[in-house]
A and B are shown apart, each in its own frame.
Chain A
């Protein structure tokens, strides 16, 4: 067993899982926004990035790690809700390129503002967890206290979102207003509030993701830190289906593992090429996502 756990294959699987949960979380936050408002949020990486800067850097001078995490997530909630109210609300019912363009503009502004305030120099957040791999009978295997923290946090967030949507009254209202806004409104659901809540939740999930990414000793926090992660997260969401939370999470994890193998056995620059290839092939085969039911268009 020890031999297997320290083998190259096992370490790729574990490393891939650690990255994959991050892609899955980004994909999940994209799906939350897509399902509630039908918008692909291109600022889904940048909004949490800003929340992380505010929470972890600005408040990091005064408080410890865990208090800062709470503050950052609260700031993320605020940014999400504010964005939906101010920027997104005027865009409902407009051609689909309008929200795309506005959110790309928002992404640019957020990254520029963050770089203007905190500079582009990477900042490392001090985490309570060591990034050094555990050892089994003298050999390292690809799991550290930090990656365990990352995986467990991600799973907890995913389960929490699932519980919220499946088993609570609020979740039912959220699903109803996404599925049939008019009917929900007639039945007394405050649909507008639910849309705001969708964005709030999504940015909250995104902020936890960004904190995990930024807490990673090897990446640190920069204004552009989420650009690449967003690309992988989008690919995961598109492969798994923008309608399907479970599908996009699974796609994210599977992709993380595949890409880890590509990076290990081929070349780290080939990773994004393979990811693009996966995206193209899977979209050709299953346009609505691997895990989404095939939709028929009614004329």
Chain B
């Protein structure tokens, strides 16, 4: 314990200074109440993070809440200073990360994989748009929840056969669903608006309670799209908090047992079928939340977004980030948000014709290639490599090795 005190003290001082500086910078652009709220959030969470490790171990839920609050509030404060492009990228990545953490959960704890999460995102995205068009006054949180419910229902329907199946049938079925999704949207085109998609009715109007919190006119929050970004990030934070708890909950442990040893799971009274379907339903619901957040962020939805290609990209970024882990989903979300920029950069650097065939296919070649290479060399992605390195370092120092994070994919 003694050895750890000094870096802990240093980081505590650093965080406190950072909080002070940030709140000084933020205060002029928002009302005092908001600045105070942000400051309190940051202080409370930094205090919680710095709690002695015994207490953190004893109160895991509290620690997770603190961690999510801290990450969210730091990101929120940061969005005040970033350009609107960066804000939009971050929010897009955050919504994608919600989808990814659902898929990570499905694979990590139940050993199944879905190739159709792009379509489940589409279910959420279109539910959000359709509901908003019919009931424009519904609060955002309620509409988001409705989209999640819709995603869960579709997931339940498709997941039912999964109770009786073994092997990669579920993957095949979700692939069929993803391929079918555009045709399904067209089939219901009186609802989904056909190829043009749907616009949200009350676009770019922040709700009243948000307006009341911030000074009119002075802050960029109400005049620009910053509030969309911030609500998306908060929603993602809440989703991650629940998922972090689920990973280590009783249900999560039961699921891992089902994955590793069905017979043992049955012997200790785990209902195999219910557990498998539940994992799939949760994953679909999370994907739907991600899609609904995208609709919310863009104020519109188009069917072209939710093509089969999106499902493959989702699989690629979560595998690169680290499938079966929570940090992997965050990394994957960032990779997704910046992939277009990186690919454009590569196109410029290599002097390819941006309109050429090759440049337009670079996306698929890179993502597909990374998918293969990652699975072959480091099946747990970036997060897995980090865990392995940390464990190696810990064992070199002679510490008690921290238990390895469980993931399904093995080296």
One of A11-19, A67-75, A90-98, A173-181 at the interface: A90-98
Interface flag for A231 (CB, 8 Å)? yes
Interface flag for A84 (CB, 8 Å)? no
Q: Which residue among A97, A116, A242 has the maximum number of chain B CB atoms within 10 Å of its CB?
A: A97
Contact partner of A231 (CB less than 8 A), chosen from B160, B179, B361, B363, is: B179
Q: A227-B179, A284-B160 are in contact. Are A105 and B165 (CB under 8 A)?
A: no
Interface positions of A from 204 to 228, Cβ below 8 Å from B: 227-228
Tell me the smallest distance from the CB of A256 to a CB of chain B, in Å.
Answer: 16
Interface flag for A78 (CB, 8 Å)? no
Interface flag for A104 (CB, 8 Å)? yes
Interface size class of B (residues with CB under 8 A): 35 or more
Closest residue of chain B to A286, judged by CB? B164
Residues of A within 8 A of B113 (CB): 97, 100-101
- Are A42 and B175 interface neighbours, CB within 8 A? yes
Interface flag for A164 (CB, 8 Å)? no
Over the window 308-339 of chain B, the binary record of Cβ atoms lying under 8 Å from chain A Cβ atoms (1 yes, 0 no) is 10001001100100010000000000000000
- Are B408 and A95 interface neighbours, CB within 8 A? yes
Residues of A within 8 A of B12 (CB): none
- Are B358 and A106 interface neighbours, CB within 8 A? no
Over the window 172-187 of chain B, the binary record of Cβ atoms lying under 8 Å from chain A Cβ atoms (1 yes, 0 no) is 1101110110011011
Interface flag for B33 (CB, 8 Å)? no
Expressed in whole angstroms, the Cα–Cα distance for A106 and B312 within the complex equals 11
- Are B375 and A109 interface neighbours, CB within 8 A? no
Tell me the smallest distance from the CB of B395 to a CB of chain A, in Å.
Answer: 25
- Are B173 and A104 interface neighbours, CB within 8 A? no
Interface flag for A270 (CB, 8 Å)? yes
- Are B168 and A106 interface neighbours, CB within 8 A? no
Closest residue of chain B to A269, judged by CB? B187
Interface flag for A125 (CB, 8 Å)? no
Residues of A within 8 A of B157 (CB): 280
- Are A108 and B312 interface neighbours, CB within 8 A? yes
Residues of A within 8 A of B14 (CB): none
- Are B308 and A95 interface neighbours, CB within 8 A? no
- Are A280 and B179 interface neighbours, CB within 8 A? no
Closest residue of chain B to A39, judged by CB? B168
Residues of B within 8 A of A99 (CB): 168
- Are A95 and B169 interface neighbours, CB within 8 A? no
Residues of A within 8 A of B357 (CB): 115-117, 119
Tell me the smallest distance from the CB of A65 to a CB of chain B, in Å.
Answer: 26
- Are A287 and B164 interface neighbours, CB within 8 A? yes
Expressed in whole angstroms, the Cα–Cα distance for A39 and B169 within the complex equals 11
- Are B368 and A105 interface neighbours, CB within 8 A? yes
Over the window 355-374 of chain B, the binary record of Cβ atoms lying under 8 Å from chain A Cβ atoms (1 yes, 0 no) is 00110111111011111100
Contact partner of A97 (CB less than 8 A), chosen from B175, B369, B370, B408, is: B408
Residues of B within 8 A of A287 (CB): 161, 164-165
Expressed in whole angstroms, the Cα–Cα distance for A178 and B112 within the complex equals 24
Interface flag for B26 (CB, 8 Å)? no
- Are A231 and B175 interface neighbours, CB within 8 A? yes
Contact partner of A280 (CB less than 8 A), chosen from B160, B308, B368, is: B160
Residues of A within 8 A of B175 (CB): 42, 231, 234
Interface positions of B from 265 to 306, Cβ below 8 Å from A: none
Residues of A within 8 A of B151 (CB): none
- Are B372 and A273 interface neighbours, CB within 8 A? no
Interface positions of A from 82 to 137, Cβ below 8 Å from B: 87, 90, 94-102, 104-113, 115-117, 119
Closest residue of chain A to B312, judged by CB? A108
Interface flag for A5 (CB, 8 Å)? no
Expressed in whole angstroms, the Cα–Cα distance for A90 and B379 within the complex equals 13
18 contacts between A and B (CB under 8 A): A40-B172, A87-B372, A90-B376, A96-B168, A97-B111, A97-B323, A102-B371, A107-B368, A108-B368, A109-B372, A112-B362, A112-B363, A116-B361, A116-B365, A269-B187, A270-B187, A273-B187, A283-B161
Contacts A97-B112, A238-B173 known; 19 new A-B pairs at CB < 8 A: A38-B167, A42-B175, A90-B376, A97-B168, A101-B375, A102-B372, A106-B368, A106-B372, A108-B312, A112-B363, A115-B361, A116-B360, A116-B361, A234-B176, A235-B176, A273-B184, A276-B177, A280-B160, A280-B161
